[in-house]
Amino acid sequence: MMSKRTSRLAAFTALPAALLTVAAVSSPAFAEDTPAYQIDLEQLNDTGSKGTALVSIRGDKLTVWIKSEGLVPGQPSAQHLHGSTDGHDFVCPDASADTNGDKILNNTEATVHYGDINIALTVSGDTDAATSGLAVDRMPVADQEGKITYKRTIPVSPDVVEKIKDLHIVQHGIDRNDNNKYDFEGAGKSELDPKLPQEATAPANCGVVKGAAVGSVPVGGIETGTGAEAGGISSGTVIGGTAAATMAAAGALLVARRRMTSGAATAKTGGAA
Ligand SMILES: [Cu+2]
């Protein structure tokens, strides 16, 4: 017991002070043994954006904390867990992923590397990739310094519980012409929808889930100090209905591309004002 508590404390000591505060406020999520994984968000598209995130799983609930900066002040940033739970090893792209050579890493180019949207990290309502992928009216808005603080706990499917380490966090929205809004002068039209500025949909940062849990491990509901230690998610209690969930996810991804366009249209109203 002592050692678990000690290691958890040590892990959090390594996190930025600001994030620590968030974790402290929400300590109930960590009051029980819960695996938590750290994500370092690193810039894409020369945004200078960076941040730290934590993801933890307790039963079928995923909690995501994000503390980031370098987003466009006053603008909504679409943010997602990207990647797949079928074992495909997606990664965060670098500048070489700009295959059309226009000096902008757009979402389509980046998706080759970080995968499709798996979960939309909205601030409220559903988190389905298909219906909320670009529901920018429900995405966090960066403050006047371009910072975003986010925390949400959401139910997830068993395959996400099992494969959380295969997913990445991506925040979108860049400002090429530094005028604190998404507009067409900065980077032209989005490849997703010509009615949208590229600045609204291009990725600003990306981070992968690091392999080792920073917190201690057994998932809530499993009263044991053994067996569940390594992955923390090996219990049969959280696995079930996998086939159905996988099929639903596959369907969602197919629809996501189409919905992204209509969803993002909402952003234009707010963003161009
Ligand atoms: Cu995304």
pLDDT in tens, 249-269: 333 322 333 334 333 333 333
What domains are there in the chain, each with its CATH number? Answer: 2-271 (2.60.40.200)
Q: What is the mean pLDDT of residues 176-200?
A: 93
CA dihedral 211, 216, 222, 226 (to 10 degrees): 90
How many other CB atoms are found less than 10 A from the CB of residue 95?
10
Give ion ligand 1 contacts, CB < 5 A: 80, 170
| Single-letter residue type at 169 | I
Least confident of 22-31, 63-72, 174-183, 189-198: 22-31
Q: What is the mean pLDDT of residues 54-71?
A: 96
Q: What is the mean pLDDT of residues 63-73?
A: 98
CA of 182 to the centre of ligand 1 (A): 16
| pTM listed for this prediction | 0.69
Whole-number average pLDDT of the chain? 74
Q: What is the tens place of the pLDDT at every residue in 85-126?
A: 998 889 999 999 999 999 999 999 999 999 999 999 999 999
pLDDT reported for residue 213 = 65
Name the band, by pLDDT with cuts 50, 70 and 90, for residue 141. Answer: very high
Q: What is the tens place of the pLDDT at every residue in 203-248?
A: 999 999 877 666 533 333 322 223 222 332 222 222 222 323 322 3
CA of 105 to the centre of ligand 1 (A): 13
CA of 13 to the centre of ligand 1 (A): 29
Nearby residues of 214 by Cβ (< 8 Å), 6 or more positions away: 8, 11, 12, 14, 15, 36, 37, 38, 54
CA of 45 to the centre of ligand 1 (A): 14
pLDDT reported for residue 193 = 80
CA of 214 to the centre of ligand 1 (A): 24
CA of 37 to the centre of ligand 1 (A): 19
pLDDT reported for residue 160 = 94
Q: What is the tens place of the pLDDT at every residue in 203-212?
A: 999 999 877 6
CA of 152 to the centre of ligand 1 (A): 17
Residue 154 to residue 128: CA distance in whole angstroms: 11
